[in-house]
Chain A
Amino acid sequence: MNGTDLTALIDTMDDDRVELLLKLFADVNLTISTPPRTGLMMLAVHDSFATAFYPGEILVTEACVIYCGYEGFGMVLGEAPRRALARAAADAVFSYPEATQVEKNLRACLLEEATLQKTRQLEHAALVAATKVNFDLMPGA
Chain B
Amino acid sequence: MGYVAVKGGNEAIEEACRLFAYERTKGASPPLMVKQIQEQLYLAVDRVMSEGALYAPELAALALKQAAGDTLEAAFMLRAFRATQQRLGYSLPAGTEKMRVIRRISSAFKDIPGGQILGATSDYTLRLLDFDLLSDDEARRNAFRERIFRHLPEGIEIPQTFPKVIGILRQEGLLEDVTAADQREDAIADITRHPLTFPAPRSASLQALARGETGGMLTLAYSSMRGYGNIHPTLGELRVGYLPLTGRHPVSGEPYVVGEVKVTEAEVLARMQGNDGMPKFSLGYGLCFGQNEIKAISMAILDRSTRTKTPMSPAEDQEFVLYHTDGIEAMGFCNHWKLPHYVDFLSDLDRLRKSQELAHAANRKEDVNAAA
- Mark A residues whose CB is within 8 Å of B: 4-5, 8, 11-12, 38-60, 62, 64, 71-73, 75-79, 95, 123-133, 135
Contact = CB atoms under 8 A, between A and B. Distances in A.
Given A129-B156, A132-B156, A40 B85 contact: yes
Interface in B172-195: 178-179, 181-182, 185, 188-190, 192
A104 B179 CA distance: 51
A49 B180 CA distance: 9
A130 B152 contact: yes
Q: How large is the interface on B (under 10, 10 to 19, 20 to 34, 35 or more residues)?
A: 35 or more
Contacts of A59: 54-56, 59, 85
Nearest to B206: A53
A125 B249 contact: no
B64 interface: no
23 contacts: A8-B259, A39-B87, A40-B85, A41-B247, A42-B91, A42-B190, A43-B91, A43-B245, A45-B243, A46-B93, A46-B96, A49-B285, A55-B263, A56-B50, A57-B82, A59-B56, A59-B59, A60-B88, A78-B57, A129-B158, A130-B153, A132-B115, A133-B115
Interface in B30-69: 49-50, 52-59
B211 A56 contact: yes
Interface stretch (B116-124, B136-144, B314-322, B357-365): B116-124
Interface of B: 49-50, 52-59, 82, 85-96, 102-103, 110-111, 115-120, 148-149, 152-153, 156-158, 164, 166, 178-179, 181-182, 185, 188-190, 192, 202-204, 206-207, 210-211, 243, 245, 247, 249-251, 254, 256-261, 263, 267, 283, 285, 287-289
A132 B117 contact: yes
A44 to B, nearest CB: 4
A46 B287 CA distance: 10
User: In terms of DSSP, what is the predominant structure of the interface of chain B?
Assistant: mixed
A86 to B, nearest CB: 14
A76 B94 contact: no
A57 B88 CA distance: 10
Given A49-B181, A59-B55, 19 more contacts: A40-B85, A40-B87, A43-B245, A46-B95, A49-B202, A51-B202, A51-B203, A53-B202, A53-B210, A55-B207, A55-B288, A55-B289, A57-B192, A58-B261, A59-B56, A76-B258, A124-B102, A125-B158, A130-B153
Contact of A128 (B50, B158, B204, B245): B158
A32 to B, nearest CB: 15
Contacts of A52: 93, 188, 203
Contacts of B181: 49
Counting chain A CB atoms within 10 Å of each CB, the highest count among B55, B86, B89, B202 belongs to B55
B89 A42 contact: yes
Given A40-B86, A44-B93, A51 B182 contact: yes
A126 B256 contact: no
